[in-house]
Structure 1
Amino acid sequence: MALQFSGAAPGLPGIGEGAMAPDDLDLMLAALRQALTRPRGALAAPAEAEQIAEAAERAVGQSICEAGIGLSQALDVYAGLLSQQGVATDHPGYLAYIGAAPTPAAALMDGLLSASGMIGSGWLGGAGLIWAENQALRWLSDLAGLPAAASGCFVSGGTAGNFSALVAARQRYRDRVGMRPGLLLVADGAHSSIIVSARLLDLHVVVVASDETGRLTATALARTLAELEADGRLQQVVAVVAVAGSTNAGLIDDLAGVGQLARRHGIWFHVDAAYGGAFLCVPSVRATFAGIELADSLIIDPHKGLFVPYDCCALLYADPGPVTAAFTQDASYLEQINQSQQCNPMHYAFHLSRRARGVPLWFSLAVYGSGAYRHTLEQILDLSARLRTRIACHPRLTLIPACGLSVILFRREGWQARDYDDWAQRCLRDGIALVVPSSWQGETVMRLCIMNTRLDEQRCEALLADL
């Protein structure tokens, strides 16, 4: 059966007379085509808010007004001004934080998804979209080695994923021991969202000592568990959180050892693989993730290493059945959905209304194939390794060997914190790269993160020349 599209869309009173005029639609599609095909320009720091306001005022006057300014002028303001103010995360010189470089197919599907008119909260409102999301979740679950029954949903980002996973963990804890205050075990390298989530959930954070490289190990966890048992608090442990690819250094905790200890003590094991999880499909580093299959919950951010637009985080549960008790919202208008046996993503995280944000990942995988993903991530690791080698051979630089995956940390001989800041600002001012200093074991260092295969030798040369 061929796909059918209606010739007109209903308009709200005063907003259009049906479908968008053909010329206006062509204008929007041309702008989208240009955005997808135009090479990224030079890097530049964004202007101040006052400067942006003045430029918009000069272009169109008051942009939000009684009569509106029309599509052409509004599009000019967006394309010619607003979308140019900021550093695109898919720019070859974006080496700060963790970049995102969406595939054209994923970016286009993101727009088509918005035009679908469907909501991804429950099967009734978006069955086809949820089916597609579930295919992508299954692919990720299989990469991690989770059980065949594993499932979950897509949420807005790692913070939402970590928070929802810990809500589920606390629900299981309360079902077992009641309302006693709970403990959350984390290492120093845990993402800041874990600490915020603990605060929101009224969980007391117990920091487990990291090893000399900054990793959480089974040895340190066993020591902490023994101390808690001696204090009579072992039964208060809600969950232990491990990291599979820390944001700051790309480190992977001792997942196997920590996971086995958690299972032995009946403690929920959550793995934050928001950044690192994408590399599960790369054979050369897959062994470093051994033990991730023991996770009770796991997050992976496709908007980081799986080439889809912001915002997208996959939240996976090894046993999703009991999780719904933590999130099901009781309301008379929701009774039909709550009683259905279909897959309803609203029951797996703290959201209700939700965009089916996992569809662009499914679409991109379907278009390009998982082999293309594997090949691209292998290229990223190869780029990272070559740049590491260049830094290690540099006469004034010291590579910090503990960093991993596509994160690179290094120090510059004789520099203080201000020097790193000055260099970062100079790199941006000269249009070379967006880089940011970080810290390692209390010392200011420089951090680079490669998530884009368009980083070239010329840019690397320019980056290192001033050091």
Structure 2
Amino acid sequence: MNELLLTDDERDRAGGRLVALLDGYERGLPKADVLPALDRTRLAELLATPMPERGIGVDALFDRWEDTILPNSTTVAHPRFLAYVLGPPNGIAPYAEAVAAALNQNCNFSQLSPAASVVERAVLEWLASVVGFPATSKGILTGGGSLATLQALATALHDRVPDFHATGLQRDAAPLVVYTSVEAHRSVDKAAAILGIGLDNVRHVRTDERHRMDVHALRAAIERDRRDGLRPWCVVATCGTVSTGSVDPLDAIADLCAAEDLWLHVDGAYGALFLLSEDMRSLMGGCARADSITLDPHKLLFVSLEAGCVLVRDGAKLRDAHAFDSSYLTVADDELMTDYMDYGPQLSRNFKAFKVWSALQAFGVEAFRAANERTLELAQRLGRGIEATPGLTLLAPVTLTAVCFAVDGASPAEVLETLAAENVALLGPVVVAGKRGIRACITNHRTSTADIDLILERLRR
């Protein structure tokens, strides 16, 4: 007997209970609390329980999931969970995750994961085509947008700093400078700190009245740093800022980067996959001119966490920055396969591409295009409703799906607490141009017109 396998009977019971759990969770969403009241006693018991010497078995484990874990988990799949740029998983996601866990492919080199290698390559080529990158581009799926940005900047360092693998930044040279906007995601600062660029060498460029990077201010900052003997090196533009959903003027920034010989990275974790819709090409088609770009399939493709992505226009540069020889790994050139250990920092990595591939296979691009366009339309509906309501003030233009507003005479914290306590919606706080307000981010394929109207009605009252 193998102590770590289930018996035939246990497998039958586990399968039945899992199907029942998933079905019950789905059917219960309309009546669920978006932010459940925590059972702190049960959670404290979890923490106080010592490592079990003997297992409790399949049925007791499912009981514990159902009476402790599920009731104390935020209902991300609730149609009025609108606090963050985080949507619910699509319907096939739990099943794809289960199959990937059973296969347990180590997606580092193709001998360990042949089908996975081809699936990831297919997914990356699909995503590159959405962005408009050439066939020479390469990429890798990551744990999220922050890691993707870190990898992109590491690739840019390797490309622009001679002998970077050998000497890093330990050299007698002027400091490198990276430019981004004051609205950029904090992952840019974090990447600069981790990579040794230093926060003192990150320029946070002011924005215009639409909260987009001011290209004139960017140009002036680059010129000033060159005069001061520093080394302008990289610009990180944003395609969908977290606070307001603004999109930087990507073409103008690309023109400036080309003229100044700077690496252009686009943080498209929030917004770039809206390019699935042709209507968004005029706003964010400049993504195609980037040297590298961050995407997040776990946002607009609604796959379960985690599934980020970095794409690099010249794929050889991504490989050059991350490839190392290892005598104990047997690899051979194969035009069909890709050894992803040569395209990122990880050796052990799971089969993230499977859930992306499975979702696109199950539903097709058309379904995701429709879902994304619906979220854009719902955001506009909410924005119009706020503008039409005395006592509510829209704080920023509704560019994508982030809707920022204030309730006159009320503290944002009190409004947020009331909406959550009444199970109307879970929204989030925001600061726009120094003014505190409330933000609804409609990146939820379950959200409907009725949900938006319910939120508006409660705000009016």
TM normalised by structure 2 equals 0.90
Change (3 A) 1:232 1:78: same
Corresponding residue of 1:208: 205
Number of residue equivalences: 447
Corresponding letter in the other structure for 1:438: V
In structure 2, which of residues 177, 181, 203 is the aligned counterpart of residue 183 of structure 1? 177
Corresponding residue of 1:25: 15
Change (3 A) 1:25 1:43: closer
Q: 1:161 deviation in Å?
A: 0.6
Corresponding residue of 1:404: 399
Indicate conservation of the 8 Å contact 1:217/1:257, yes or no: no
Partner secondary structure for residue 203 of structure 2: strand
Corresponding residue of 2:128: 141
TM-superposition CA deviations, 1:85-139 (whole Å, max 9, x none):
1322221110101121222123311221111131111222112112112222112
Corresponding residue of 1:5: none
Corresponding residue of 2:189: 195
Indicate conservation of the 8 Å contact 2:178/2:235, yes or no: yes
Corresponding letter in the other structure for 1:194: V
Q: 1:349 deviation in Å?
A: 2.1
Indicate conservation of the 8 Å contact 1:186/1:207, yes or no: yes
Indicate conservation of the 8 Å contact 1:45/1:87, yes or no: yes
Change (3 A) 1:46 1:176: same
Corresponding residue of 1:112: 99
Root-mean-square deviation (Å): 2.4
Corresponding residue of 2:3: 14
Indicate conservation of the 8 Å contact 1:43/1:433, yes or no: no
Partner secondary structure for residue 290 of structure 1: helix
Alignment of 1:97-176 (within 5 A): 97-175=84-162
Corresponding letter in the other structure for 1:252: V
Corresponding letter in the other structure for 2:17: L
Indicate conservation of the 8 Å contact 2:254/2:289, yes or no: yes
Distance 2:425 2:56 in 1: 36
Partner secondary structure for residue 354 of structure 1: coil
Corresponding residue of 2:419: 427
TM-superposition CA deviations, 1:271-300 (whole Å, max 9, x none):
000010121111222210021111111111
Q: 1:244 deviation in Å?
A: 0.3
Change (3 A) 1:42 1:29: closer
Change (3 A) 1:113 1:254: same
In structure 1, which of residues 181, 199, 221 is the aligned counterpart of residue 218 of structure 2? 221
Partner secondary structure for residue 84 of structure 2: coil
Q: 1:357 deviation in Å?
A: 0.6
Aligned residues with identical type, % of pairs: 26
In structure 2, which of residues 347, 352, 358 is the aligned counterpart of residue 352 of structure 1? 347
Change (3 A) 1:44 1:407: closer
Q: 1:414 deviation in Å?
A: 2.7
TM normalised by structure 1 equals 0.89
Indicate conservation of the 8 Å contact 2:378/2:449, yes or no: no
Distance 2:190 2:76 in 1: 25
Indicate conservation of the 8 Å contact 2:379/2:398, yes or no: no
Give 5+ residue unaligned stretches, structure 2: none
Partner secondary structure for residue 314 of structure 1: strand
Corresponding residue of 1:291: 286
TM-superposition CA deviations, 1:168-210 (whole Å, max 9, x none):
1111122279743321111101100110110111112122222
Distance 2:367 2:250 in 1: 27
Indicate conservation of the 8 Å contact 1:120/1:126, yes or no: yes
Distance 1:461 1:402 in 2: 19
In structure 1, which of residues 33, 41, 44 is the aligned counterpart of residue 31 of structure 2? 41
Partner secondary structure for residue 218 of structure 2: helix
Distance 1:168 1:99 in 2: 27
Partner secondary structure for residue 279 of structure 1: helix
TM-superposition CA deviations, 1:202-251 (whole Å, max 9, x none):
11212222223221143222222221222232xx2231100001111101
Give 5+ residue unaligned stretches, structure 1: 1-10
Q: 1:17 deviation in Å?
A: 6.3
Corresponding letter in the other structure for 1:65: P
Instruction: Determine whether 1:441 maps to 2:433.
Output: yes
Distance 2:42 2:281 in 1: 46
Distance 1:218 1:302 in 2: 29
In structure 1, which of residues 429, 438, 463 is the aligned counterpart of residue 455 of structure 2? 463
More displaced 10-residue stretch of structure 1: 242-251 or 116-125? 116-125
